[in-house]
Amino acid sequence: MTVGESTIGRMLLSHNFDLYDKIFDELSREEFAQVFIDALNSKTDIDVSFIENPHWHVEILFSTTAFTPQKIGELCAQALKKKRLQQPATAKMPNILILAGKKTTPPISSAATSLKPGEWGVDVVETASVSTFLTAIRWEERIYTRPVENIFKIELLNEE
């Protein structure tokens, strides 16, 4: 990655596959990572890799001069949508959510693959119902006390 004088941002992705009707196959950790590696590594100022971690699957390093965390989130949503559109036309497109929060507490682990303060943890969610999923995880309660600059949500809804 060529970043020149810019600051490097770090974002870790996990995958939440909440499609009970199983229209789409769940992606393995490696397949999930490959979606973002294929879509984003060709861009200047972004470096994507698969990581070994119990929760996180993907590490994205990016120039904070060239990209906001929200823009990286949008690129991730589009990459997953593109992957799902390449699957059989009989499949219904899932709703894709990017739920992101900036870590403000001490790390849970000292492992290199753990989320550190100032970095973004992102749940990439595929779901049949956005509202049902957000209610189930109590999204509004979780974000209520967090500063708006430390969270973001991107909804990529299916066309139906």
Ordered mean pLDDT values, 10 residues apiece, the chain (160 residues): 67 84 75 96 94 95 96 97 80 87 90 94 92 90 91 85
Within a domain: residue 3?
Answer: no
> How much is the pTM?
0.90
Q: How many domains does the chain have?
A: 1
Within a domain: residue 1?
Answer: no
Within a domain: residue 18?
Answer: yes
Q: What is the pLDDT of residue 37?
A: 97
CB-count burial class (<10 Å; 0-12, 13-18, 19+) for 52: exposed
The two structure tokens encoding residue 110: 């000292």
Q: Which residues contact 44 (CB under 8 A, 6 or more apart)?
A: 1, 2, 66
Judge whether 80 and 124 are in contact, CB under 8 Å.
Answer: yes
Within a domain: residue 2?
Answer: no
Within a domain: residue 140?
Answer: yes
Closest CA to 12 of 32, 26, 31, 28: 32
Q: What is the pLDDT of residue 26?
A: 77
Q: Is 131 helix (H, G, I), strand (E, B) or coil?
A: helix
Judge whether 102 and 151 are in contact, CB under 8 Å.
Answer: yes
Tell me the residue range of the domain where 61 lies.
8-156
Q: What is the pLDDT of residue 128?
A: 84
